[in-house]
């Protein structure tokens, strides 16, 4: 690609260089945005808020993605390092077996591993279609993709190891001068490898998205159990809000000339700020509570109070 651009002149070379940089950055940004969105959706759904109503921007979702992606990335990195070491060991074993004419034993072990991968893959597909009857709950989103990864990965890797072995001996009885018939197996194997790679990528994406969803729900539960780190809000309104929560304290402000605000509400916490509104929750959260949506305009008066350490 770069050589072709070089023949066309300096401008195509710059375009190619920009494309080589922008394409990976765009892909990474899209992945970060997706997982940040999944995590935020699960987090605010716990409080009865649709994340699309909040009005967060792309940068907000990207900035929220490192936390839900931390565990999957560390897991993939450790698994990749362990897999690389295992691959080096297996390559040495296969090389030794080839020199000692033990290919038959290695091929038999690879066939066993391939069969095991096929069984695991079949179990994952069966669970995928039997989910409405079995009902695995929230574990379905992690169990099935992990089984797909293990099954498809094992089959793909056994085929990769089989390529390291010398070609199998030709069947006896065939005339050496007779041309060998075209073998469709290599082409079918390449197609099957591509499909297995697609399954691996999709299953990895699915499992990571499930972890991001669990991370968002865990953050929400942590906020609901300990909302002390959220800013405390004192809200003044012109009209009475008739809140359902018994935790929030309502006070009627004294009537005064030029005073437009008549009610004050305490024991509220700021959950999140959107583009043109704030989302407030009571200091003590329960399943019967509701989230208060307050516009950011002159119809309300808001005071924020953050609990900090006393200055020296």
Supply the DSSP string of 102-161, one letter for each residue. Answer: -HHHHHHHHHHHHHHHHHHHHHHHHHHHHHHHH--GGGHHHHHHHHHHHHHHHHHHHHHH
Q: Total domain count for the chain?
A: 2
Enumerate the β-bridge partners of residue 281: 269
Residues 77 and 163 in one domain: yes
Same domain, 68 and 197: yes
Residue 4 lies in a domain: no
Give this prediction's pTM: 0.71
pLDDT for the residue 292: 92
3-state helix, strand, coil in the chain (%, to 5): 60, 10, 25
Residue 198 belongs to a domain = yes
pLDDT for res 15: 46
pLDDT of amino acid 4 = 43
**1 in a domain, yes or no?**
no
Name residues whose C-beta falls within 8 Å of residue 284's C-beta, 6 or more positions apart in sequence.
Answer: 227, 247
Does 236 lie in the same domain as 152? no
Give the Cα separation of 34 and 36 in Å (integer): 5
Same domain, 114 and 154: yes
* 145, 264: one domain: no
Please tell me whether residue 293 adopts helix, strand or coil conformation.
strand
Q: Compute mean pLDDT per 10 residues along the chain, 312 residues long, and list them.
A: 46 50 64 87 92 87 80 79 81 71 78 90 88 70 89 89 68 51 62 88 88 89 88 92 88 86 93 90 87 91 77 62
State the pLDDT at residue 177. 52
Q: Do 82 and 161 have their domain in common?
A: yes
Contact indicator for 262, 237 with CB cutoff of 8 Å? yes
Consecutive H or E run containing 10: helix 10-45
* pLDDT score for 286: 84
Q: Which of 223, 247, 270 is at the close of a domain?
A: 223
Domain extent, residue 292, equals 228-305
Q: Is residue 180 part of a domain?
A: no
- Regarding whether 280 and 140 lie in a shared domain, the answer is no
Does residue 176 lie within any of the structural domains?
no
Spatial separation of the C-alpha atoms in residues 115 and 159, rounded to whole Å: 12
DSSP state of 247: S
Residue 236 sits in the same domain as residue 193: no
Query: Does residue 2 lie in a domain region?
Result: no
In a domain? residue 182? no
Q: Considering the domain boundaries, does residue 153 fall inside one? A: yes
Do 163 and 20 fall within a single domain?
yes
pLDDT at 232 (0 to 100): 92
- pLDDT number for residue 43: 92
Say if residue 211 is in the same domain as residue 84.
Answer: yes
pLDDT at 70: 77
| The pLDDT of residue 176 | 53
C-alpha torsion 232→236→240→242, nearest 10: -10
For the segment 262-289, what is each residue's pLDDT rounded down to a tens digit? 999 999 999 999 888 999 999 988 878 8
Do residues 212 and 148 share a domain?
yes
Clarify whether residues 238 and 156 are in a common domain: no
């Amino acid at each position: 690609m770069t050589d072709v651009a070089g023949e066309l002149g300096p401008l195509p070379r710059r375009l190619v260089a920009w494309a080589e940089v922008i394409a990976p950055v765009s892909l990474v940004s899209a992945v970060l945005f997706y997982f940040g969105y999944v995590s935020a959706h699960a987090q605010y759904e716990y409080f009865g808020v649709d994340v699309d109503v909040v009005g967060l921007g792309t940068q907000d979702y990207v900035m929220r993605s490192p936390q839900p992606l931390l565990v999957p990335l560390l897991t993939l990195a450790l698994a990749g390092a362990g897999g690389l070491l295992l691959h080096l060991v297996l390559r040495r074993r296969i090389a030794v077996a080839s020199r000692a004419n033990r290919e038959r034993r290695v091929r038999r072990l690879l066939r066993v591993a391939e069969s095991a991968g096929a069984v695991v893959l079949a179990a994952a597909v069966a669970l995928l279609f039997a989910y409405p009857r079995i009902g695995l709950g929230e574990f379905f989103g992690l169990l099935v993709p992990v089984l797909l990864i293990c099954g498809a990965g094992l089959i793909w890797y056994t085929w990769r190891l089989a390529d390291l072995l010398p070609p199998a001996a030709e069947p006896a009885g065939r005339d050496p001068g007779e041309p060998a018939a075209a073998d469709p197996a290599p082409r079918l194997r390449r197609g099957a490898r591509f499909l297995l790679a697609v399954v691996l990528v999709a299953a990895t994406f699915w499992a990571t998205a499930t972890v991001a969803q669990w991370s968002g729900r865990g953050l929400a539960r942590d906020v609901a159990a300990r909302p002390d780190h959220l800013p405390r809000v004192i809200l003044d309104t012109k009209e009475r809000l008739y809140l359902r929560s018994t935790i929030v304290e309502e006070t009627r402000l004294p009537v005064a000339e030029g005073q437009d605000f008549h009610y004050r509400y305490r024991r509220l916490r700021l959950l999140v700020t959107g583009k043109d509104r704030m989302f407030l929750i009571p200091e003590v959260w329960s399943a019967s509570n509701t989230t208060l949506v307050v516009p950011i305009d002159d119809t309300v008066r808001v005071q924020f109070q953050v609990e900090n350490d006393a200055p020296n």
